[in-house]
Amino acid sequence: MNAETKDVVTGGVDVGTSSIKVCVFRVDPTGEGTLLSKVVERIRRRDPRQVAEHCFELALEEAKLGKGDVEYVASTGEGHVVEFRRGHFYGMTTHARGAAYLCPGATGALDIGALHARAIRMDGRAKVLGYAMTSQCASGSGQFIENIARYLGVTVNEVGPLSLTATAPEKVSGICAVLAETDVINMVSRGISTANILKGIHQSMADRLAKLLRSAKIGGTVVLTGGLSADVGLTRAVEQAIASDKRAVGLRVVTHPDAIFAGAMGAALWGAARHRKLQARGLLPALDPSEVTT
Amino acid sequence: MRSAAEIAAVCEEIVLDVGLSCVLRHRAESGKKAIGFLPIYAPREVVEAAGMLSVGVLGGGDQIEIIRGDAYFQSYICQLPRSVIEMGLSGKLDALDGMLFPAICDVIRNLSGMWQLLFPNKYVRYIDVPHNHDWEVGGKFYVHDLRELGRGLAGVSGVTPSDDRLREAIALHNENRRLLRALYDLRARAPHLVPTAEAYVVVRAGYQLPVEEHSAIVREYLEAARVSGRAPLDQSRVVLVGSFCEQPPLGLLKTLERAGCYIVDDDLVLGARFLRGDVDETGDPWEALARAYIAHGSHTSSRYVAGEQKGEYLIDLCKKRKAEGVVFCAPSFCDPALLEQPMLQTALEAANVQHTSFRYSENTAQFQAIHEQAGTFSDSIRLWSEDQ
């Protein structure tokens, strides 16, 4: 079997603000990838370098592979902490590819992370064609949800299911996290239920995300990715915001259980594409430090 | 033996020291005076032949707050002259006994006049480099200008820049130029061994050091970088263009590399490498300097080259350095860089070389937007360059 018809094993490491996601893939010569393992860990107060390395080791163990079996490790996000990377891809590039893997035919990705959200428009090859990004403050982000959960005395994992039980959601400020937090404190003192407060927050965030999708001019199927794609309360609120938005004709948002891994998946899959490109050009030896002549 | 990172850290300390401690130390140790020069190119050999230290002044970067400097310029003028005025008025350039203002743009030319008014006791000279490269016209004019400069500098130091002294300075700078060329060649061949943020401070530190001392540092860095064992990454190879005068903050250069770009050539601190070949060390040294400027001067937007096809040099540079794209990284309001940019971009498009552009000022502190732009540019080169 010659090199160009051989499967390639690649790894993707997505270093986010609050957690690190790792995926290992086997990719065939047509670019079709098979997910071998996936690992996510919160960074908490640890050194992200060590967390990245630890997550990668766990992913290799799950895939029953050794480090030497992985031909290309690609980072995304804060990739400079991944000291064992071979290449790095920008977050939008990887989330687009990850979204296309999770939902073939998708025309966009809505990456909602700990610090910001990005609406990404792409073509059928997962090539990024345009994007819009939140530019104000943290009110549309995962970090904000985490803060609110702490004030309300619930865990982050409880936020989504609780939000789904709301009966009379209370709207909060959609512009500023500080104002929204003040709103929440007022609601608590007014006796508003935790579920209704959380749903109100989700609706406020969903309205902003719907606007983001409009400004990125995305139509068709959009995959929710990033850490907050696991928040069922938020994903439901986004679906409802899109459904009630008369200007969002033909737009559909979808979720996937593995959507938080979209960045890591995209990194691994693009890593395979890059590996093949370098191989085809005969440039792979140049990436081996011992081969570099100076 | 110090590591490459350790040498670069020492150089970075020198570069970020706007109080010119190195120059003060040198003055105290050698008893020599010092002459500053602004970008891009000044014939440092003449200053040194006159028994003084030549000091490159590139502004205070993100290390100073500009308060008085803003009062001297309109809002549509770049940051560098404000920064230099601020440094002058706040005493940070007191170590210098004079200043040279090379021909680069109207702002720097006018700054020379302002300097004469602000610092009447200091030596100030505007260096009008030749724009006509016919030897009988521009060449002879420049020789005359250089000799005039030499006489003026002798008046400051009391040392006449004799032919022998000038030849000696030329030889020292030739050696320095050879080392800097070696540094750039090594980075182009193995960019993982020479991060641009390091190469930049190593080159720029030479603006505050005696040339022999700087050559020793560059030599040491080259040796250390070669054995640094740094692992290569799969990054795009780009040429950085437009930063020949006001310098970008160090954070910007680090951002570009973190975003996935290996910078394989640039025009940062261009004055240090302005002459691309050696200056003849025999014969009349004044003529040798003038001939070198005409024959080996860098192609940059503030230097007129008759018959030059705009962009041709840049395309050749991309080929030579195996660059996959060009990043136009120019200071806001830099007339020479920004006026030429559209012509260069047109030439690159005709040659099918990808490019992107953004602006900065020396005290830019937010790099998120640049990170995004450089990151997507690098991805676009690596993933889509052959099938667009």
Are A157 and A108 in the same domain?
A: yes
Note the pLDDT of residue A4.
62
What whole-number distance in Å separates Cα of residue B34 and Cα of residue B91? 15
Please indicate, yes or no, if residue A288 is contained in any of the structural domains. no
Contact of A77 with chain B, judged by CB distance below 8 Å, is answered with: no
CATH T-level topology, domain B1-19+162-232: Substrate Binding Domain Of Dnak; Chain:A; Domain 2 (1.20.1270)
B241 and B152 Cβ atoms separated by less than 8 Å: no
Q: Which residue in chain B is spatially nearest to A94 when comparing CA positions?
A: B379
For residue A287, name the pLDDT band (cuts at 50, 70, 90).
low
Contact of B258 with chain A, judged by CB distance below 8 Å, is answered with: yes
Contact of A292 with chain B, judged by CB distance below 8 Å, is answered with: yes
Instruction: Report chain B residues whose CB lies below 8 A from the CB of A122.
Output: none
Taking CB atoms and an 8 Å limit, are B232 and A79 in contact across chains?
A: no
Note the pLDDT of residue B1.
87
Instruction: Report chain B residues whose CB lies below 8 A from the CB of A127.
Output: 383-384
Instruction: Report chain B residues whose CB lies below 8 A from the CB of A88.
Output: 233, 235, 258-260
Note the pLDDT of residue B262.
96
- How many independent structural domains does chain A possess? 2
Q: Please tell me the distance in Å from B319's CA to the nearest CA on chain A.
A: 17
Q: Please tell me the distance in Å from B226's CA to the nearest CA on chain A.
A: 7
Taking CB atoms and an 8 Å limit, are B193 and A92 in contact across chains?
A: no
Going from the first residue of chain B to its last (388 residues), give the mean pLDDT of each consecutive group of 10, the final group possibly shorter: 96 96 94 97 97 96 90 92 96 96 93 96 94 94 97 97 98 98 97 97 97 98 96 95 96 93 97 96 97 94 85 96 96 94 96 94 86 91 77
What whole-number distance in Å separates Cα of residue B19 and Cα of residue B334? 26
Note the pLDDT of residue A293.
43
Whether the domain at B1-19+162-232 and the domain at B234-388 fall into the same CATH topology: no
Q: Please tell me the distance in Å from B216's CA to the nearest CA on chain A.
A: 20
Are A85 and A48 in the same domain?
A: yes
Taking CB atoms and an 8 Å limit, are B379 and A93 in contact across chains?
A: yes
B236 and B254 Cβ atoms separated by less than 8 Å: no
Are A271 and A235 in the same domain?
A: no
Q: Who contacts B381 (Cβ-Cβ below 8 Å, separation ≥6)?
A: B236, B238, B324, B325, B354
Taking CB atoms and an 8 Å limit, are A292 and B234 in contact across chains?
A: no
User: Using CB atoms and an 8 Å cut-off, which of residues 13-72 of chain A contact chain B?
Assistant: 72
Compute the count of residue pairs across chains A and B with CB atoms less than 8 Å apart: 68
Provide ipTM, 2 decimals: 0.82
Query: When comparing pLDDT for A113 and A14, which is higher?
Result: A14
User: At A106, is the secondary structure helix, strand, or coil?
Assistant: coil
Taking CB atoms and an 8 Å limit, are B379 and A72 in contact across chains?
A: no
Note the pLDDT of residue B305.
83
Are A117 and A162 in the same domain?
A: yes
Q: What is the mean pLDDT of residues A283-288?
A: 59
Contact of B234 with chain A, judged by CB distance below 8 Å, is answered with: yes
Contact of B227 with chain A, judged by CB distance below 8 Å, is answered with: no
Q: Please tell me the distance in Å from A184's CA to the nearest CA on chain B.
A: 30
Kindly provide the b/e burial profile for residues A20-34, where b requires at least 16 CB atoms within 10 angstroms of the residue's own CB. Answer: bbbbbbbbeeeeebe
Instruction: Report chain A residues whose CB lies below 8 A from the CB of B260.
Output: 87-90
Are A249 and A157 in the same domain?
A: yes
Query: What rounded mean pLDDT belongs to chain A?
Result: 88
> In this predicted model, what pLDDT tens digit does every residue of A45-63 receive, in sequence order?
899 999 999 999 999 999 9
Q: Which residue in chain B is spatially nearest to A87 when comparing CA positions?
A: B234
Q: Please tell me the distance in Å from B40's CA to the nearest CA on chain A.
A: 30
Element (H, E) at A133: strand A128-133
| Domain residue ranges of chain B, discontinuous segments joined by + | 1-19+162-232, 32-159, 234-388
Are A147 and A238 in the same domain?
A: yes
Name the residue with tokens 């498009």: B349
Please indicate, yes or no, if residue A155 is contained in any of the structural domains. yes
Please indicate, yes or no, if residue A140 is contained in any of the structural domains. yes
Interface-testing mutation among B264, B379, B380, B381, with chain A (most A C-beta atoms within 10 A): B379
Q: Which residue in chain A is spatially nearest to B228 when comparing CA positions?
A: A289
Q: What is the 3-state secondary structure (H, E, C) of chain B?
A: CCCHHHHHHHHHHHHHCCCCHHHHHHHHHHCCEEEEECCCCCCHHHHHHCCEEEEECCCCHHHCCCCCHHHHCCCCCCHHHHHHHHHHHCCCCCCCCEEEEECCCHHHHHHHHHHHHHCCCCEEEEECCCCCCCHHHHHHHHHHHHHHHHHHHHHHHCCCCCHHHHHHHHHHHHHHHHHHHHHHHHHHHCCCCCCHHHHHHHHHHCCCCCHHHHHHHHHHHHHHHHCCCCCCCECEEEEEECCCCCCCCHHHHHHHHHCCEEEEECCCCHHHHCECCCCCCCCCHHHHHHHHHHHHECCCCCCCCCCCCCCHHHHHHHHHCCCCEEEEEEECCCHHHHHHHHHHHHHHHHCCCEEEEEEECCCCCCCHHHHHHHHHHHHHHHHHCCCC
- C-alpha distances out from residue A175 to A144, A189, A234, B322, B328, Å: 12, 22, 17, 47, 35
Contact of B228 with chain A, judged by CB distance below 8 Å, is answered with: no
Contact of B366 with chain A, judged by CB distance below 8 Å, is answered with: no
Q: Which residue in chain A is spatially nearest to B225 when comparing CA positions?
A: A294
Contact of A90 with chain B, judged by CB distance below 8 Å, is answered with: yes
User: Using CB atoms and an 8 Å cut-off, which of residues 147-186 of chain B contact chain A?
Assistant: 186
Q: Does the pLDDT of residue A73 top 90, yes or no?
A: yes
User: Using CB atoms and an 8 Å cut-off, which of residues 121-140 of chain A contact chain B?
Assistant: 127-128, 133
Are A25 and A56 in the same domain?
A: yes
Q: Please tell me the distance in Å from A122's CA to the nearest CA on chain B.
A: 13
> In this predicted model, what pLDDT tens digit does every residue of A128-151 receive, in sequence order?
999 888 765 555 578 888 888 888
> In this predicted model, what pLDDT tens digit does every residue of A107-134 receive, in sequence order?
999 999 877 889 999 999 999 999 888 7
Q: Please tell me the distance in Å from A291's CA to the nearest CA on chain B.
A: 10
For residue A285, name the pLDDT band (cuts at 50, 70, 90).
low
A17 and A79 Cβ atoms separated by less than 8 Å: no
* Residue A180 belongs to domain spanning: 104-255
Are A218 and A77 in the same domain?
A: no
Taking CB atoms and an 8 Å limit, are A292 and B231 in contact across chains?
A: no
CATH number at residue A238: 3.30.420.40
- Identify the architecture of domain B32-159 in CATH: 3-Layer(aba) Sandwich (3.40)
Largest Cα–Cα distance of chain A, in whole Å? 71
Are A196 and A117 in the same domain?
A: yes
pTM (predicted TM-score): 0.89
Are A65 and A182 in the same domain?
A: no
Taking CB atoms and an 8 Å limit, are B193 and A89 in contact across chains?
A: no
Taking CB atoms and an 8 Å limit, are A277 and B382 in contact across chains?
A: yes
> In this predicted model, what pLDDT tens digit does every residue of A166-219 receive, in sequence order?
999 988 766 666 777 788 888 989 999 999 999 999 998 898 899 899 989 998
Are A131 and A72 in the same domain?
A: no
What whole-number distance in Å separates Cα of residue A23 and Cα of residue A70? 11
A60 and A66 Cβ atoms separated by less than 8 Å: yes
> In this predicted model, what pLDDT tens digit does every residue of A223-253 receive, in sequence order?
999 988 999 999 999 999 998 888 877 899 9
Q: How many CB atoms lie within 10 A of CB A5?
A: 8
Taking CB atoms and an 8 Å limit, are B234 and A128 in contact across chains?
A: no
Contact of A290 with chain B, judged by CB distance below 8 Å, is answered with: no
User: Using CB atoms and an 8 Å cut-off, which of residues 15-54 of chain B contact chain A?
Assistant: none
Taking CB atoms and an 8 Å limit, are B193 and A294 in contact across chains?
A: yes
CATH T-level topology, domain B234-388: Rossmann fold (3.40.50)
Taking CB atoms and an 8 Å limit, are B232 and A292 in contact across chains?
A: yes
